[in-house]
Structure 1
């Protein structure tokens, strides 16, 4: 009891510290993951004779260029979507009236006019406007500070990687350093494979989603394809959100339920390919998180750090699983986080097939 009491107290203190130091820890965690992703490129450039500083700067420049290109692509799609908003609002008002009339005819509910709906929405918006504005300003300032710090942290992680490894060795006895070195290399390799594989899956799923939506003639197909592919990382919930929004906009734009159903069908089909063929072929069985652990991690990450916590939750759980699997003491926890695979079922003991007291009583009743 004393052991578990101190364990619970330690976990509570850890959560408290993680929550209070989010402004310091979040940039560090993002930088560590991105550094792990960029490490193979930096190592290859150093092997070609580049200096370490130049290789790190080139890798960071490529990363920033890729993110900038993605932001520009998203920004252009968002601007196009914003230009279409007045027309979408008009069509949405027509659907609103039709839905109100259907509810009145079928269920006898009072029809709410558009003016009443707008007035109620404006009044609730005015009440929360101050808090929303304050949270928006604070969030924007936090994002700008994080964006500024992350490249600096990435440079430091990559430049001082040998120094940090030697620092960790000072906690280990000399006769065990070889084992620790192999464990660290294994963790690094698996994490790199997981993150790079995850990004590859997102790119492939984005292309497949875009092809399907472009064939159906859906507006803003590229934006919705990338948006849904990123959300698809969230098991079950992501595909629902990623398919619902473009389906509703397609329904409002075209007024065709069949076309909206076709949009949902595209996302469901691509999700089926991703779960059964794409992800197993790319990421393999190196790191596989079961959906329940992923959903719980997303909820905990959101409660702890908000949206950045949800983004970090899946990679951090993958890192935890690799760390747990590398130690025999914590290996059961890694097994708990992992996905269900064939052949892992516990073999039943033949003694379990023997009837117990209730089974013997039931057999005696049947004989009577």
Structure 2
């Protein structure tokens, strides 16, 4: 006999399951975060590893080559950003003096025109602007200490990547153990489709970030903005946050340009550069590279960033967009969960515009089929 439970009991169980899931993710953060990063890198390296294996390179050697390429790329990127970031933090002291001059000018203007008494600008700077230097130094030293303390984790991730790539066929056979033989072909097709879509989305997202970073850096260098590399890469990474990311990414270099040069026009031009790059990214770069295979709507992306930050901190914010993209692919592949995939998807990707030629051809086919059915009915009646 089947036991039927009331709906409120089912919903209570679902809520308890979500609470236990969040508790599990937070409790085992030190184990799950390296595994998630390793899985993400493993998915990205599968095509390269398979290509090296086709060239008759042994799988262990091919995997080691892939890992060395990733380490070299990330090491160069971190070195480039750290040098720019150190110089930017050291310059915050001189920037605070310039900001103090602007505040005094604004206070004099308000006193002459509106009779508003000036406040202590230096005290304001000491509490707010001046604290940026101390905060930046604290973040930098904290990052260095965290890096030295997390060397064990950084050594574990390449090991995880190696074994995930080496035993990827074994993991696939492991999943076959849960289903019957007649359904394994369907599972193979589903797994291959999911893997291809996830690989194309994540690799396409990285390509988009690189292209946007190059465009941002080029525009800022033409304007002569210092630390163009840092500002350009920082803004390109934030493009994964729809609409909001470009505002955050453009605000920092625009304010820096305004304080450094004192020209409002230059600051507006900097914002215009980022807006133009964002226009290119949204209308030409992303559609042509990642396509419409996986398209996350802005609300789901922002919500994923907030939840990821609350659960796993900065690592959760980095992993949130790829994880939600993978979930959407899984939801779309599994029919009972397809509505959730539709909910996560973008409106433009969910509602495809009908093609005029396709609609016309469908109508012609329908008319032709109706005529054919009528002729067959006439033959039968005779």
Distance 1:124 1:85, change over 3 A: closer
Q: Distance in 2 between matches of 1:133 and 1:267?
A: 27
- 2:260 corresponds to which of 250, 253, 259: 253
CA contact (8 A) 2:96 2:125 kept: no
Distance 1:190 1:150, change over 3 A: same
Q: How many residues align?
A: 343
Q: Distance in 2 between matches of 1:276 and 1:132?
A: 36
Q: Distance in 1 between matches of 2:184 and 2:68?
A: 35
Matched residue of 1:218: which SS? Answer: coil
Matched residue of 1:73: which SS? Answer: helix
Q: Distance in 2 between matches of 1:216 and 1:202?
A: 21
Q: Distance in 2 between matches of 1:266 and 1:133?
A: 29
Q: Distance in 1 between matches of 2:131 and 2:51?
A: 56
**What TM-score results when the alignment is normalised by the length of structure 2?**
0.83
Distance 1:142 1:321, change over 3 A: farther
CA contact (8 A) 2:257 2:266 kept: yes
Q: Distance in 2 between matches of 1:297 and 1:246?
A: 26
Distance 1:214 1:21, change over 3 A: same
Q: Distance in 2 between matches of 1:33 and 1:289?
A: 18
Matched residue of 1:81: which SS? Answer: helix
Deviation at 1:214, TM superposition (A): 1.6
- C-alpha distance after superposition, 1:166-216 (max 9, x if no partner): 111111122111111111111110010001100110111111111211221
Unaligned runs of 5+ in 1: 347-368
In the TM superposition, what are the counterparts of 1:71-86 in structure 2 within 5 Å?
71-86=78-93
Q: Are 1:51 and 2:55 counterparts?
A: no
Deviation at 1:101, TM superposition (A): 3.5
What's the counterpart of residue 352 of structure 1? none
Distance 1:109 1:144, change over 3 A: farther
Distance 1:231 1:104, change over 3 A: farther
Deviation at 1:49, TM superposition (A): 1.1
What's the counterpart of residue 218 of structure 1? 225
Matched residue of 1:180: which SS? Answer: helix
Unaligned runs of 5+ in 2: 1-7, 354-382
Deviation at 1:256, TM superposition (A): 0.2
CA contact (8 A) 2:309 2:316 kept: yes
- C-alpha distance after superposition, 1:302-323 (max 9, x if no partner): 1111111111110000000000
What's the counterpart of residue 353 of structure 1? none
Matched residue of 2:91: which SS? Answer: helix
Q: Are 1:282 and 2:289 counterparts?
A: yes
Q: Are 1:321 and 2:298 counterparts?
A: no
Q: Are 1:308 and 2:315 counterparts?
A: yes
Structure 1 stretch displaced more, 229-238 or 79-88: 79-88
Q: Are 1:184 and 2:181 counterparts?
A: no
- C-alpha distance after superposition, 1:86-106 (max 9, x if no partner): 432321221232234345455
Q: Are 1:15 and 2:29 counterparts?
A: no
Deviation at 1:75, TM superposition (A): 2.3
Q: Distance in 2 between matches of 1:123 and 1:215?
A: 30
Matched residue of 1:232: which SS? Answer: helix
Distance 1:168 1:215, change over 3 A: same
Q: Distance in 1 between matches of 2:141 and 2:213?
A: 34
Structure 1 stretch displaced more, 89-98 or 260-269: 89-98
Matched residue of 2:336: which SS? Answer: coil
What's the counterpart of residue 25 of structure 1? 32
- C-alpha distance after superposition, 1:17-55 (max 9, x if no partner): 111111111110011010000011111111111111111
Q: Are 1:236 and 2:249 counterparts?
A: no
Q: Are 1:201 and 2:212 counterparts?
A: no
Matched residue of 1:284: which SS? Answer: coil
Matched residue of 2:347: which SS? Answer: coil
Q: Distance in 2 between matches of 1:134 and 1:200?
A: 31
Q: Distance in 1 between matches of 2:177 and 2:208?
A: 39
